[in-house]
Chain A
């Protein structure tokens, strides 16, 4: 009897300690994470969900400042510029009780470099990962890489013992024809643990009361229920009728209504993402055009398109003012960005038509524009607007708008002449843009450069800026590279995307410009 009372009061005490904030938050956005396996996909909604369950060595907080996660400090090795040293946080346990050691970090980084892992694209610079002792990890790169930690902000750490126990040492195994344990189960060190998961329907997470940062962060949510809703109208209806508390991607047309709705409020901020159109300038002949040459290869045609696309009207009509018209494909956060570069080219149809005539396309031509229809804010509508704008300079555009996975798979297979793409720069540095979008497409670099553009000087600068450690000369390289590509007009910038999150007005939370909420920071107003 006595014993029972003791247990009961111990339980009571425990409940009192944690139930100070027994609050449930119901969260929605348009798409679910594809998997709980943290390394198999490199995709926004997937990372956003996994950030609640797992930790990374380094992460970007709600102000996108770099913060220590499972690494307490990190620096370049004194003797070897190719080695990064990470000191691992001590006393951290996984949700299922395993203690975190350097070995788990080595395991996770290597797992993410596996050929089935989508995340390996971010880790190509790594040569070897070693545990020096229980709480020190050395990451050796092929060349000095000053930005390595910036590439690790979505690299989640899992437990080696757990992975071995459940046979998930590899991210995915299609040949086995079975789903792996890690797709629906997760054992992280993060602020929330998984209670239940029905993909595309509902995921329930509960607060991890053993979280290493429990005293450091507000951690006011005791239960987090995530229900993705695909249809924009239904999503808004759910928030209006009180079925959800926080809506991550508010459709631009509903921002005003939600702002005026009782008990709700909006949070807005610039997203780290620029939307633009790319053109194949390299091929001798376009696949979809009715010409037997490549009109895009002519700079005058590209300039005419730039002049015909009216970014300001797109911002006003399609985005209802919720975007920042762009003159460059770098978001304003990025090192190397300048307002001069970002100056929007005003629409000038007369000049555009002249240029088309000069280039020998006075009668226009026909080409296909490929767009996603569920990836960026109003993506398909932006493309439709471009179709009618280009019609005015004689270019007949056939629009093909598809779901994001098909769009990106076909883009990656270089099937497109003219396409929409949005680019965020998680490393906050121009090198990332040059590396992926301007460098000649080869094995290591230029993997998202589908323009066929190749310039020796730009390639040289791109490689050098990656390993240059002197800030001043590095910035000079970046400026030179921007100057070269700005004149080429390879991409037609549309705008820098803006984010709107809507929520119950007693919630204190703000927009994170990577579009990745960290719910451990969320507070409820009293």
Chain B
């Protein structure tokens, strides 16, 4: 257990190091930060002064160390574009993204498991065939196209739901939430569906495949032979064994949801970190890009770590082998 844990944590640190290196190279090689900060009328002397104030005349290794030290404190300087503190910008926008991602994830996981089980058990009936085919459309439609279609249908033609933004937001001091107001909840529906649909289809197809495999296994046949009811067999025995491999994938998919939020947030003008990142890419706002990268990497590393540990907890075989995959 301990060896396994240490190995995983070391790997996580390695990942963060690599990402930090990439983020630092962004700072260093893509565009000249001094040129970006000072206006076009600054003199060469002004630039040199700022360069030394920012420590840009130090050796690269020293700068990289400084970058890591700052990053560890989540300190990325100020945005070239808006002159605001980058860490504050990100923290301010994080609740919007996390709320959207969480709701979509719940939607995708619950619907995915339910539909997956249904289509596995009722294999061959017309409804599950329909669901399976429809799910392919879900995989094939790019996220942005789904978003545009939903806006057109529900916001413009029918006028039922808002087309953009988060609606009314309640400020709780350390967190701002759209979950407590009617308009906030209504604003959440379309983006959450858009973001969750792809994951939903993936999870559903995965659950179905695993479930089919398990149902074929000998112990299920024995259970049936013992005269246990279909329902008990399906839900108690088959489902339990289906979910073990599914957990890993779902865990990884949660990370993907945060990444895909970039697209959904762009389409729906959702004020989250993804939209912030895309604006930063277009404006070559390096501090924001670097901070976003580091943050996403951290989120992913943590999710992976949790998934690994969960996997370890539910799958006894791993315990025997001591973490080898």
A interface, CB within 8 angstroms of B: 34-35, 37, 40, 115-116, 118, 120-121, 172, 174-175, 177-180, 183-184, 198-202, 227, 229-231, 233-234, 237-238, 240-243, 402-403, 405-406, 409, 412-413, 447
Contact = CB atoms under 8 A, between A and B. Distances in A.
Interface of B: 35-42, 46, 49-50, 53-54, 77-78, 81-85, 88-89, 92, 148, 151, 155-156, 159, 162-166, 266-269, 271, 275-276, 279, 282-284
A231 B267 contact: yes
A409 B46 CA distance: 17
B279 A200 contact: yes
A402 B284 CA distance: 11
Nearest to A124: B41
A115 B46 contact: yes
Contacts of B165: 201-202, 227, 229, 243
A121 B41 CA distance: 9
A409 B83 contact: no
A201 B169 CA distance: 11
A402 B279 CA distance: 12
17 contacts: A34-B83, A40-B83, A116-B38, A120-B41, A172-B83, A174-B54, A174-B78, A177-B54, A183-B82, A200-B279, A202-B165, A202-B271, A227-B165, A229-B164, A237-B164, A241-B156, A243-B164
Contacts of B85: 178-179
Given A183-B82, A199-B82, A237 B156 contact: yes
Given A174-B38, A409-B40, A234 B279 contact: no
B282 A179 contact: no
Given A35-B82, A199-B84, A234-B163, A412 B40 contact: yes
B164 A406 contact: no
A231 B269 contact: yes
Contacts of B92: 198
Nearest to A239: B163
A405 B269 contact: no
A111 B267 CA distance: 40
Given A240-B156, A409-B40, A180 B269 contact: no
Interface centre among A198, A227, A402 (most CB of B within 10 A): A198
B163 A406 contact: no
A177 B77 contact: yes
Give 4 nearest A-B pairs by CB, closest first. A412-B40, A175-B53, A237-B163, A201-B271
Contact of A178 (B78, B279, B284): B78
Judged by DSSP, the binding face of A is: loop
A181 to B, nearest CB: 11
Interface centre among B37, B39, B165, B284 (most CB of A within 10 A): B39
A35 B89 CA distance: 13
A266 B251 CA distance: 50
Contacts of A200: 82, 271, 275-276, 279
Contacts of B266: 231
A412 B268 CA distance: 34
A237 B282 CA distance: 24
Contacts of B41: 115, 120-121, 447
Contacts of A240: 156
Nearest to A405: B283
Nearest to A242: B159
Interface centre among B35, B42, B81, B276 (most CB of A within 10 A): B81
A34 B81 contact: yes
B308 to A, nearest CB: 36
Contacts of A34: 81-83
A306 B168 CA distance: 52
Contact of A405 (B49, B81, B84): B81
A179 B84 contact: yes
A269 B51 CA distance: 46
A118 B151 CA distance: 39
Given A403-B282, A406-B283, A406-B284, A238 B83 contact: no
Given A179-B85, A229-B269, 5 more contacts: A174-B78, A201-B166, A230-B269, A237-B156, A243-B163
Nearest to B85: A179
A424 B37 CA distance: 25
Contacts of B50: 174-175
A237 B81 CA distance: 28
B164 A234 contact: yes
Contacts of A409: 35-36, 40
A371 B42 CA distance: 24
B84 A241 contact: no
A237 B151 contact: yes
Nearest to A177: B77
Nearest to A33: B82
Interface centre among B40, B159, B164 (most CB of A within 10 A): B164
Interface centre among B84, B163, B282 (most CB of A within 10 A): B163
Given A40-B83, A180-B83, A174 B164 contact: no
Contacts of B166: 201
A241 B267 contact: no
A115 B163 contact: no
A211 B38 CA distance: 36
Contacts of A402: 282
Contacts of A238: 162-164
A177 B285 CA distance: 14
A198 B159 contact: no
Contacts of B46: 115
A403 B36 CA distance: 14
Contacts of A35: 82-83
A256 to B, nearest CB: 16
A404 to B, nearest CB: 9
Nearest to A172: B83
A403 B285 CA distance: 12
A198 B282 contact: no
Contacts of A120: 41
Given A37-B83, A179-B83, A240-B156, A413 B162 contact: no
Contacts of A172: 83
